[in-house]
Amino acid sequence: MKRIITIVGARPQFVKAATLSREFSVAGIDEKIIHTGQHFDANMSEVFFTEMEIPQPAYRLDINGVGHGAMTGRMLEGIEKILLGEKPEGVLVYGDTNSTLAGALAAAKLHIPVLHVEAGLRSFNMHMPEEINRILTDRISSVLFCPTDAALKNLAAEGFVNTAGNDPGSDRQKSGLNGAIPVRIVKNGDVMQDAALFYARKAAGKATVVKQLPVSRFVLATVHRQENTDDPSNLKGIVEGLNAIHRQVPLVLPLHPRTRNILQQSGLTPDFITIDPVGYFDMIGLLQQCEMVVTDSGGVQKEAFFFQKHCITLREQTEWVELTELGFNQLAGSDPVAIGEAFKKLMNQQSDFSVNLYGNGEAARKAAELIATL
């Protein structure tokens, strides 16, 4: 497989794409990137391509600002047209966004092998759009790159059976035989750790936001998931919980434009410090300097671990169960009391962050080397 199309559209996917794009050039793979436009704010999109030296997208669909159905449908239509013209040997998708599912659907319907990076993750919460996206994407993929043992177990429980065949599409016609779903499954590690290790070395000279904060000691927070931002009760509880933390240790939250608007419309007043969305290097700087992380983001949960920070997760479930099982991460949902209790516990906890959970920076290389042989 020497010619692939990569689909990206949201911040975590830009970070992941940066790691594999570098390895593709080494492996002799010709990659073209489609940017769906799902994240359209300059601070949340273009800055990543500039800062992280990601190859500029060959195609930009500029699809955003509409509901899930309209967004996914328009992406599917736009991606399909490009694939018909490009005729790639494979389509690579990342994670669990609408861009992920649209790219996978477009490719699968054209019988182009789908390569899913960050496969097998499950929160077991079907109210999350991301859960639906990741389940459906795994089901129609030809190669599943899994970051953890938990991801492998999830796939096995759902009937996926690993095939060592070199043709990732060769066994798809047998799907359903005896309930099995044949697919190429690879545990390669987490490309997000590759990015964290690579870019941490460059962040010192590029991260400026942390130097501009009015405080030197702070807790870092992010809130963006719809089950929190679109539920008035959840959002109220989270703001109360963050305000309570802020009264003990200053709390800084880079605020997504959509969430900022919802806070204003809801009449909720943050006592904590809010700043504009930040680029990846500034995010690394914040992660390096903060004392703890509070987030509803799956990616930020891991980034907290990469930079040896405890994390409070503002959800009832997490895909990264190893972090909760080993005590690096604590689930608190949107309950301000639970948030406060988790903060008190983790602020006084000592943990060994040296454990190898995500591949120690080899995930992208392993994925690229395999893709080159398909």
**Known catalytic residues?**
224
Closest CA to 39 of 64, 19, 72: 64
Closest CA to 288 of 309, 268, 311, 302: 309
At residue 191, the 3 state secondary structure works out as helix
CB 99 within 8 A of CB 38: yes
34 residue type, one letter? I
Closest CA to 95 of 128, 51, 55, 67: 128
Q: Residue 125 has what DSSP assignment? A: -
**Residues 121, 124, 125, CA angle at the centre, nearest 5°?**
120
- 203 CB neighbour count, 10 Å cutoff: 20
Give the contacts of 143 (CB within 8 A, at least 6 positions apart): 90, 113, 114, 115, 116, 168, 183, 184, 185, 186, 370, 371, 374
At residue 307, the 3 state secondary structure works out as coil
Sheet with 219-222, edge to edge strand ranges: 273-275, 251-254, 219-222, 293-295, 311-313, 329-331
CA atoms of 46 and 191, how far apart (whole Å): 20
Enter the tokens of residue 308: 């040896």
CB 109 within 8 A of CB 87: no
CB 168 within 8 A of CB 374: yes
